[in-house]
Amino acid sequence: MNEQDKSGQEKMGKQIIKASELDPKFKYEITQMHGGEKLLMCFQCGTCTSDCPVARYSDSYRPRQLIRMTQLGLKERILKSETLWLCAACFTCTDRCPQGVKVADVIRILKNLAIKEGYVPPVFKELASSILDNGYAYRIPELRIKKREQIGLPPLPKGNPESLAKILHGIELKKLLEKRGE
């Protein structure tokens, strides 16, 4: 398959691993988090990668590899990789893992950590700011809202930004998203 992806599609696992890159505590950080508990159970059978729809068409996205790199503690390399964001969260890997590793959850944890380190794909900034502003992940155009009436649909339920701000207090989401060096 001809890989045309410009970025992050570096072959993460095909580089020399230096001992200084390994963070032996990283795996325990992950097993502490919800969904990451069984990370160490992975014995690298490769069911996840062979059943992954995205891996079929990507030369770089390999869930098995991400799991192994997490076990090894290649933290920096994982978190800055754009490949991480190719997971579709279809949960096929999680459902089929013979060892009960919640592969998609581990990858979600890695994404959350990548955000904390300031690696934020732009699309998430848009989605988050729309949710905080009006409750909906997209900014629904006035025209659409008017059209609802015309075709006999009831008015859309309203968002409540004040309430959202209150309950999300302490998540510091805005700070997370601002870190993107822009």
Partner 1 sequence: MAETQGEIKYLIFLGCAIPYRVSAYELSTRKVMEKLGVKLEEMPEFNCCGVPMDPISHEMMLLLAARNLCMAERKGLNIMALCPGCTGALKKVNTMLKNDKNLREEINKHLKEDGLEFKGTIDVKHLIQVLNEDVGLEKIKTLVKKPLKGIKVAEHNGCHVLRPKEYMGFDDPEDPKILKTLIEVTGAECLDYMDESQCCGAPVAGVNDRIPLQLTKEKLAHIRDVGAQALITICPFCHMMFDTNQIRIERMFNEKFGIPTLHYPQLLGLALGMPPEELGFRELRVKPTELLKQLGFQGS
Residues that bind partner 1 (CB under 8 A): 4-5, 34-35, 53-54, 56-58, 82, 85-92, 94-95, 102, 104, 108-109, 111-112, 115, 120-121, 123-124, 127-128, 131, 135-138, 140, 144, 147-148, 151-160, 163-164, 166-171, 173, 176-177
Residue number with CB closer to partner 1 (17 or 156)? 156
For residues 75-95, b (16+ Cβ closer than 10 Å) or e, as one string?
bebbbebbbbbbbeeeebbbe
Q: How far is the CB of 94 from partner 1 (least distance, A)?
A: 5
Residue in this structure with the two tokens 């900034």, named with its chain if needed: 125
Give the CB-side neighbour count of residue 112, counting CA atoms within 13 A: 13
Q: How far apart are CA 98 and CA 75, in angstroms?
A: 25
Minimal distance in Å, beta carbon 22 to partner 1?
A: 25
- Which residue number, 21 or 129, has a Cβ lying nearer to partner 1? 129
Closer CB to partner 1, 152 or 181, in the complex = 152
**Cα–Cα distance, 151 to 23 (Å, whole number):** 58
